[in-house]
Amino acid sequence: MSAALLAVQAACRDCHACHDAGFQVESLPVFEGRPGQQAYLLGQAPGIVEGDERRPWRGRAGKQLRRWLGLDEEAFYATFYCASVTRCYPGRVPGGRGDRAPSPPERDLCARWRDEELRLLAPRLVVPVGGLAIQGLLGGAGSRTGSLPLTALIGERFQRDGAVVIPLPHPSGASSWPHQPGNRERLDRALAAIAAELTAIAL
């Protein structure tokens, strides 16, 4: 399985499917992980810093995420296989503020890498971070979570293909979600559940 995962990683690093399909992306693929990791983190897409460094969670949102999880950089990257819904920096919103959210066809194109990694890693814990990642893992037609708002999912545990799935909101400073009434408690519940799973994995 290790060799198969390394082969998938090598192919992903060379992926230019979005460019071939006419989508605008502004970095090479970004992810980081190694065979044997039992915790899988799925973000939305790299930002400009991550695209430049070709390493996930390098900017302010990454720092906030590590603060939430109580992990320093070394422990964070040692613990989590870090992937995202799409893996190339999507660029800025044309004429607007912030980064462009990857479109559904881009997400579909990139899902093959996530699916291969999850199949080969078979992690015990999966943490989708932010609405698009949560929707990609837990949503979909007929799912019991597909139409639920983020508020209803944070602080809950789900099962997917033998893994425990514990969603988190996006740690971007632009998000007001953690500051809304009741949401800090939901976030704390989710973080406690993740800590408990990581402890169980380490035993």
Which positions touch ligand SF4 (CB under 6 A)? 12, 15-18, 25, 29, 86-88, 109-110
Q: Which is nearer to ligand SF4, 18 or 154 (CB)?
A: 18
Q: Which residues contact 147 (CB under 8 A, 6 or more apart)?
A: none
Where do we find the tokens 């502004």? 26
φ, ψ dihedrals at 84, nearest 5°: -150, 165
Q: How far is the CB of 104 from ligand SF4 (least distance, A)?
A: 13
Q: How far is the CB of 86 from ligand SF4 (least distance, A)?
A: 4
Q: Which is nearer to ligand SF4, 131 or 155 (CB)?
A: 131
Alpha helices in 14-72 (DSSP H): 17-20, 48-53, 60-69
Structure tokens at 17: 């499917």
Q: Which is nearer to ligand SF4, 13 or 67 (CB)?
A: 13
Q: How far is the CB of 11 from ligand SF4 (least distance, A)?
A: 10
Q: Which is nearer to ligand SF4, 18 or 194 (CB)?
A: 18
Structure tokens at 196: 């408990």
Q: How far is the CB of 39 from ligand SF4 (least distance, A)?
A: 21
User: How do strand 163-165 and strand 125-128 relate by DSSP bridges?
Assistant: parallel
As a residue count, the chain comes to 203
